[in-house]
């Protein structure tokens, strides 16, 4: 059987924390549509009979009906392809969800609640969908495959081998359990990075998010293309060309003022199809407010600047001095320790530098 496996598209995500520039979210949402259209075009061109979507197709809180209609209209273009969707923690099958209320095309099967089996000629497809924003157990440990002569496929949104309180909230399943059950292919979703052992042609697979959703998802993104039988498995990752998120570091130790910093940033060689986070490092010689940097004429491909520079002064050492500067340093050090928000920390750091200059 031939199939395409995707997950974690997150249609209509707001992308509020992605960039320091306004309006970028609209462009990323267009990228999502382009990528999804490429998936459908690939299926049409290669006559793929199965499409597995392993959760978080859209953002329940922000999804628009027009986006759902756009998705469904693409599904109508591949009427011979059977589409299996398992809702995840961002798009659960709940009372007011579009999974429940929208009239999806007849080739679409949406899993919900308890693990369900769809019986086809020579193939059984199992699935489970989130019915809330959290799921601590789907009951897969109680499942027994009763037709092992058939191809048995699992489509599920899960935190594989999840540990810690947070991961326990998102349908934790162990890889050991999946192997013992004997599925021929496990189409997983939830982890946004491609994850499977390519050398062993492993059949327990995260395809990663179809489109990168930010700087915590660097590297290639796309879809899994598979062709499996009871005797063999052949799966490949197919990259979908898109805008790539890239991080670059800039050492500020030898930079003496804001104008020189802007010059150095603009001298960086930027690729056409990339969006950049510039990480400022080293010892700084002046106050740096990253939000004010965007008032200058920076390349539009630079969408975020992170200040990880260290001041040339030692605040801990200064705080031990029995001077006015020492008292000021001790007070500000205590404030910094209580603040977790990075933006607030940056403001306080700027105030410290101005205060120490005044007290020189």
Give the pLDDT confidence of 13-23 residue by residue, as tens digits. Answer: 988 777 666 66
Cα–Cα distance measured from residue 130 to residue 86, given in angstroms and rounded to the nearest whole number: 8
Residue-wise pLDDT tens digits, 312-335 = 777 788 888 888 888 988 888 888
CB 205 within 8 A of CB 224: yes
Cα–Cα distance measured from residue 133 to residue 154, given in angstroms and rounded to the nearest whole number: 21
Q: Name the H helices within 77-117.
A: 98-101
Cα–Cα distance measured from residue 231 to residue 221, given in angstroms and rounded to the nearest whole number: 29
- Its sign, for the CA torsion 297, 301, 304, 310, is negative
Burial class of residue 106 (count of CB atoms within 10 Å of its CB; 0-12, 13-18, 19+)? exposed
CA-CA distances (angstroms) from residue 328 to 114, 343, 348, 354?
A: 61, 21, 12, 12
**Does position 165 have pLDDT exceeding 60, yes or no?**
no
Mean pLDDT of 20-45: 87
Edge-to-edge strands of the sheet including 123-128?
A: 116-120, 123-128, 151-157, 185-189, 204-205
Mean pLDDT of 3-11: 97
CA-CA distances (angstroms) from residue 34 to 29, 58, 222, 271, 309?
A: 9, 15, 12, 20, 38
Q: How far apart are the first and last CA of the chain?
A: 75
CATH no. for 2-239: 3.60.21.10
How confident is residue 201, by pLDDT bands cut at 50, 70 and 90?
Answer: low
Q: Name the H helices within 47-106.
A: 65-76, 98-101
Q: Which of 73-82, 86-95, 133-142, 346-355 has the lowest mean pLDDT?
A: 346-355
pLDDT for residue 164: 53
pLDDT for residue 22: 67
Domain coordinates of the chain in residue numbers? 2-239, 244-358
**Does position 81 have pLDDT exceeding 70, yes or no?**
yes
**Does position 89 have pLDDT exceeding 90, yes or no?**
yes
Q: Which residues, 6+ apart, have CB-to-CB distance to 131 below 8 Å?
A: 87, 92, 93, 94, 112, 113
Scan for tokens 């197919």, then name that residue. Answer: 238
Say how far residue 291 (Cα) sits from the centre of its chain.
Answer: 24
DSSP state of 140: G
Cα–Cα distance measured from residue 221 to residue 354, given in angstroms and rounded to the nearest whole number: 44
Q: What is the pTM of this model?
A: 0.78
Tell how strand 2-6 and strand 222-228 pair up.
antiparallel
How confident is residue 167, by pLDDT bands cut at 50, 70 and 90?
Answer: low
Mean pLDDT of 258-284: 92
How confident is residue 157, by pLDDT bands cut at 50, 70 and 90?
Answer: very high
pLDDT for residue 115: 95
pLDDT for residue 245: 87
């Amino acid at each position: 059987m031939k199939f395409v496996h995707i997950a974690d598209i997150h249609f209509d995500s707001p992308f509020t924390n992605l960039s320091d520039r306004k309006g970028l979210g609209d462009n990323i949402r267009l990228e999502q549509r382009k990528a999804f259209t490429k998936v459908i075009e690939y299926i049409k061109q290669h006559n793929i009979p199965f499409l597995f979507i392993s959760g978080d197709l859209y953002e329940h809180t922000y999804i628009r009906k027009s986006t759902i209609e756009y998705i469904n209209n693409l599904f109508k273009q591949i009427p011979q392809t059977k589409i299996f969707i398992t809702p995840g923690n961002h798009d659960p099958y709940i009372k007011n969800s579009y999974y429940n209320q929208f009239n999806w095309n007849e080739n679409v099967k949406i899993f919900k609640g308890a693990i369900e089996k769809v019986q086809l000629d020579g193939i059984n497809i199992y699935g489970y969908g989130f019915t809330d924003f959290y799921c601590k157990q789907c009951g897969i440990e109680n499942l027994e495959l009763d037709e092992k002569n058939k191809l048995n496929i699992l489509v599920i949104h899960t935190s594989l081998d999840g540990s810690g309180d947070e991961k326990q909230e998102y349908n934790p399943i162990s890889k050991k359990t999946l192997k013992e059950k004997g599925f021929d292919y496990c189409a997983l979703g939830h982890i946004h990075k491609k994850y499977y052992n390519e050398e062993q042609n492993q059949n327990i697979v995260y395809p990663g998010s179809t489109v990168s959703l930010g700087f915590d998802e660097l590297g290639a993104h796309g879809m899994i293309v598979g062709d499996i039988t009871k005797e063999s498995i052949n799966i490949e990752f197919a990259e979908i060309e898109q805008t790539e998120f890239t991080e670059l570091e800039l050492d500020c130790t030898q930079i003496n003022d804001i104008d020189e910093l802007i010059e150095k940033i603009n001298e960086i060689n930027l690729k056409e199809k990339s969006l950049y986070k510039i990480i400022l490092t080293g010892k700084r010689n002046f106050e740096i407010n990253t939000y004010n940097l965007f008032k200058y004429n920076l390349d539009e491909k630079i969408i975020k600047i992170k200040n990880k520079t260290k001041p040339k002064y030692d605040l801990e050492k200064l705080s031990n001095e029995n001077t006015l500067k020492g008292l000021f340093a001790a007070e500000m050090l205590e404030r910094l320790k209580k603040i977790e928000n990075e933006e607030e920390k940056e403001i306080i750091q700027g105030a410290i530098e101005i205060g120490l200059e005044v007290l020189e």
